[in-house]
Amino acid sequence: MKRCFQNISNETDTEEAPKNKVVLVEREPEPGGIALVNPLRTSKKTHLELMELGESLHTSESFIQANAKNKLDIIGKQMKNLHVLMNEVVNETKLHNDLNNAACNFVKKPGHVYHLYEKPSGQKYFGMLSPHEWINVPHHFLGSFRLEVDFSWTPAGQEETRYEGLNFLKDIYSNSSGMKAISNSDS
C-alpha cells in the first residue's frame, strides 16, 4: 500500500497534481519482524512536516531542472563552436583546392612561397616573382602563399599561426608557471 500526500493549491489544473505529490514510505506493522507497540503512531506526520517534505521535493526538482539546463547550455556552446570550426574547415578546404588548381607552368615544391596573380580574363595563376620583384606588375596581385608538405597553403607571413594549437601547447609545457596556473584553476 503506497501512501502519498498532495499539497493543497489554488490551482485546479490536474496536470500539476503529480508534481506536488509527496510519496511516503509504506507502513510496516512489523519492521524487521519486530512488532511495534503502536504502528499507526510511528508513521504519523503533522501537516507542517508534510508541507516541508513537499517543499523539499519542489526544491530538488528546481535544482535538477537548473542542472539540466546548465549542462544543455554547455553542450549547445560546444556545438556552436564545432559548427564554427566546421565552417572554417570547409572554407579552408575550398581555398586549398582553389590554390592547388590555379594555373602554373612550373612544378610547385613544398616549403616555397608562390605568388598568386589574376589576369584580366579572370584566370588565376601562380608565379615565382613577388610584386616587388617586377618593374611593372603585369597582372592583379592576389597574395603570396607557402606550399606546405601536405599540399595545403599558408598565407605568407602567417606561418606561425598555422599550428596555433601546437604552439599554445608548447608554450604551456615549456612554461611551468602556466601549468601551475592551469592546475590551480581546477581546484
Domain ranges of the chain: 1-57, 103-156
* Alpha-carbon torsion (70, 74, 79, 81), positive or negative: positive
Considering only residues 157 and 21, tell me which one the structure prediction assigns the higher pLDDT.
157
CA dist 81 and 136 (Å) reads 45
Phi, psi of 166 (to 5 degrees): -65, -40
Residue 144, strand partner residues: 115
Per-residue pLDDT tens digits for 164-178? 788 788 888 887 665
Q: Band of the pLDDT at 84, cuts 50, 70, 90?
A: very high
Residues 6 or more apart whose CB falls under 8 angstroms from that of 102 comprise 116, 124, 125, 126
The pTM is what? 0.55
- Residue 61: the pLDDT is 85
Q: Band of the pLDDT at 15, cuts 50, 70, 90?
A: very low
- Tell me if residue 5 falls in helix, strand or coil: strand
- Residue 126: the pLDDT is 95
Per-residue pLDDT tens digits for 148-165? 998 999 998 887 777 778
